[in-house]
Amino acid sequence: MTDAKVKDEQFKTSLTVTGMTCATCSRMVERSLSKVDGVVFAAVNLATETAFVVSDREIPKETLEAAIKNSGYGVTDERPEDLEKTRYLRIKKNLALSWLVTAPLMTLMVFHMTGRHMPYYFHMEFFGGLLAVFWAGRDAIKGAWIALSHFHANMDVLVVAGSAAAWLTSALAMAGLPVASFGAVGSMIMALHITGRYIESHLRDKASKEIRALLSIQAREARVVDGAGHEIMVPIEAVKEGMIVLVRPGERIPADGTVEGGVTSVDESMITGESLPAAKAEGDGVTGGSLNLTGAVRIKATRVGEDSFIARMASLIQEAQGAKVPIQAFADRVTNYFVPGVATFAVISALIWFFGAEKYGPFLDKAGEWIPWVTSVRDPASLAIFAFITTIVIACPCALGLATPMALITGTGAASRKGMIIRNAEAIQTARGVSVVVLDKTGTITQGSPAMAATDLTDRDLAAAASLESFSNHPLAKAIAGASEARLTVSGVEEITGEGVKGIVDGAEYFVGKPRDFSSYEEHLALGRTVVEVTKEGVHAGFIAVEDHIREDAAEGVKRLADMGITCVMATGDNEKTALAVAARVGITEVHAGVRPEDKLDLVRRLQSRGGKVLMTGDGMNDAAALKGADIGVAIGSGTDLAIDNADIVIVKGGISRLADAVSISRKTFAVIRQNLFWAFAYNVIAIPLAMAALLHPVIAEGAMAFSSISVILNSMRVK
Residues 566-594 have pLDDT tens digits of 999 998 877 788 888 888 888 999 999 88
Q: Which of 84-88, 172-176, 258-262, 267-271 has the lowest mean pLDDT?
A: 267-271
Q: Tell me how far apart the alpha carbons of residues 540 and 418 are, in angstroms, rounded to a whole number.
A: 47
Confidence of residue 5 (pLDDT cuts 50, 70, 90): very low
More confident residue, 407 or 505: 505
- Residue 243, classed as helix, strand or coil, is coil
How are beta strands 590-592 and 567-571 bridged, if at all?
parallel
Q: From 547, 564, 581, give the residue that closes a domain.
A: 547
In a domain, 654, yes or no: no
Mean pLDDT for the stretch of residues 524-542: 87
In a domain, 420, yes or no: no
Mean pLDDT for the stretch of residues 476-497: 84
Mean pLDDT for the stretch of residues 523-549: 87
Asked if 298 and 260 touch (Cβ cutoff 8 Å), the reply is yes
Non-local (6+) Cβ contacts of 329 within 8 A are none
Strand intervals (E) in 425-467: 434-439, 451-455
Strand intervals (E) in 183-296: 221-225, 231-235, 244-247, 256-261, 264-267, 278-280, 285-286, 291-292
In a domain, 653, yes or no: no
Do 249 and 273 belong to one domain?
yes
What pLDDT shows up at residue 340? 82
Nearest to 487 by CA among 473, 502, 468: 468
User: The CATH number of the domain where 431 resides is what?
Assistant: 3.40.50.1000
* Amino acid, res. 339: V
Tell me the β-bridge partners of 495: 501
Confidence of residue 214 (pLDDT cuts 50, 70, 90): low
Tell me the β-bridge partners of 128: none
Enumerate the H helices of 537-609 as residue ranges: 554-563, 576-586, 597-609
Non-local (6+) Cβ contacts of 201 within 8 A are 84, 87, 88, 91
Residue 211 above 60 pLDDT?
no
In a domain, 530, yes or no: yes
Residue 1 above 50 pLDDT?
no
Strand intervals (E) in 38-108: 39-45, 50-55, 74-76
Tell me the β-bridge partners of 41: 54
Do 468 and 525 belong to one domain?
yes
CB-CB neighbours of 303 under 10 Å: 18
Enumerate the H helices of 570-650 as residue ranges: 576-586, 597-609, 624-629, 641-645
* Amino acid, res. 292: N
pLDDT digits (tens, 9 = 90+) for 619-644: 655 666 777 788 888 887 654 454 56
Tell me the β-bridge partners of 547: 451
Residue 268 above 90 pLDDT?
no
User: The CATH number of the domain where 6 resides is what?
Assistant: 3.30.70.100
Q: Tell me how far apart the alpha carbons of residues 381 and 331 are, in angstroms, rounded to a whole number.
A: 36
Helices 380-394 and 698-716: crossing angle in degrees, nearest 10, is 10
CA dihedral 515, 521, 522, 526 (to 10 degrees): -90
Asked if 23 and 400 touch (Cβ cutoff 8 Å), the reply is yes
Residue 216 above 70 pLDDT?
no
- Residue 484, classed as helix, strand or coil, is coil
Q: Tell me how far apart the alpha carbons of residues 256 and 265 are, in angstroms, rounded to a whole number.
A: 15
Q: Which of 263-267, 536-540, 672-676, 681-685 has the highest mean pLDDT?
A: 536-540
Do 112 and 199 belong to one domain?
yes
What mean pLDDT is reported for the chain? 80
Q: Tell me how far apart the alpha carbons of residues 476 and 480 are, in angstroms, rounded to a whole number.
A: 7
Do 375 and 515 belong to one domain?
no
Asked if 670 and 156 touch (Cβ cutoff 8 Å), the reply is no
Confidence of residue 274 (pLDDT cuts 50, 70, 90): low
**Catalytic: which of 139, 156, 256, 440?**
440
Helix, strand, coil shares of the chain, percent, nearest 5, are 55, 20, 25
In a domain, 584, yes or no: yes
In a domain, 178, yes or no: yes
More confident residue, 549 or 101: 101
- Residue 114, classed as helix, strand or coil, is coil
Nearest to 24 by CA among 387, 426, 339, 453: 339
Confidence of residue 3 (pLDDT cuts 50, 70, 90): very low
Do 354 and 287 belong to one domain?
no
Do 105 and 48 belong to one domain?
no
- Is 440 considered catalytic here? yes
CA dihedral 455, 457, 460, 464 (to 10 degrees): -70
pLDDT digits (tens, 9 = 90+) for 348-388: 999 999 898 888 878 888 887 787 777 777 788 888 888 88
Q: Which of 34-43, 192-201, 208-217, 671-680 has the lowest mean pLDDT?
A: 208-217
Do 98 and 163 belong to one domain?
yes
CA distances from 637 to 258, 282, 287, 618, 642 (A): 17, 22, 12, 10, 11
Do 116 and 24 belong to one domain?
no
pLDDT digits (tens, 9 = 90+) for 150-175: 777 777 887 888 888 889 888 888 88
In a domain, 629, yes or no: yes
Residue 504 above 90 pLDDT?
yes
Confidence of residue 188 (pLDDT cuts 50, 70, 90): confident
Residue 207 above 60 pLDDT?
no
Do 119 and 173 belong to one domain?
yes
In a domain, 661, yes or no: no
Do 585 and 438 belong to one domain?
yes
Q: What is the residue range of 202's domain? A: 82-209+320-405+673-719
pLDDT digits (tens, 9 = 90+) for 440-449: 887 788 876 7
Q: What is the count of structural domains for the chain? A: 5
What pLDDT shows up at residue 100? 93
Considering the chain, what percentage of its residues have pLDDT values greater than 70? 84
Asked if 235 and 221 touch (Cβ cutoff 8 Å), the reply is yes
Q: From 77, 101, 129, give the residue that closes a domain.
A: 77
Mean pLDDT for the stretch of residues 673-697: 83
Q: Which of 496-510, 557-571, 630-644, 686-700 has the highest mean pLDDT?
A: 557-571
User: The CATH number of the domain where 281 resides is what?
Assistant: 2.70.150.10
How are beta strands 244-247 and 508-513 bridged, if at all?
unpaired
Confidence of residue 4 (pLDDT cuts 50, 70, 90): very low
Q: From 77, 111, 137, give the residue that closes a domain.
A: 77
Q: Tell me how far apart the alpha carbons of residues 375 and 185 are, in angstroms, rounded to a whole number.
A: 13
Mean pLDDT for the stretch of residues 542-564: 88
What length is written for the chain?
720
Do 585 and 707 belong to one domain?
no
Residue 212 above 60 pLDDT?
no
Gap between the terminal Cα atoms of the chain: 28
What pLDDT shows up at residue 398? 65
Confidence of residue 6 (pLDDT cuts 50, 70, 90): very low
Mean pLDDT for the stretch of residues 530-542: 90
Asked if 468 and 479 touch (Cβ cutoff 8 Å), the reply is no
Do 555 and 593 belong to one domain?
yes
Considering the chain, what percentage of its residues have pLDDT values greater than 90? 11
Half-sphere CA count of 689, side-chain side, radius 13 A:
5
User: The CATH number of the domain where 487 resides is what?
Assistant: 3.40.1110.10
CA dihedral 273, 276, 280, 286 (to 10 degrees): 10
Strand intervals (E) in 486-566: 490-496, 500-505, 508-513, 530-536, 539-547
More confident residue, 81 or 75: 75
CB-CB neighbours of 82 under 10 Å: 10
Confidence of residue 518 (pLDDT cuts 50, 70, 90): confident
How are beta strands 434-439 and 567-571 bridged, if at all?
parallel
CA distances from 408 to 105, 457, 648, 671 (A): 41, 54, 14, 11
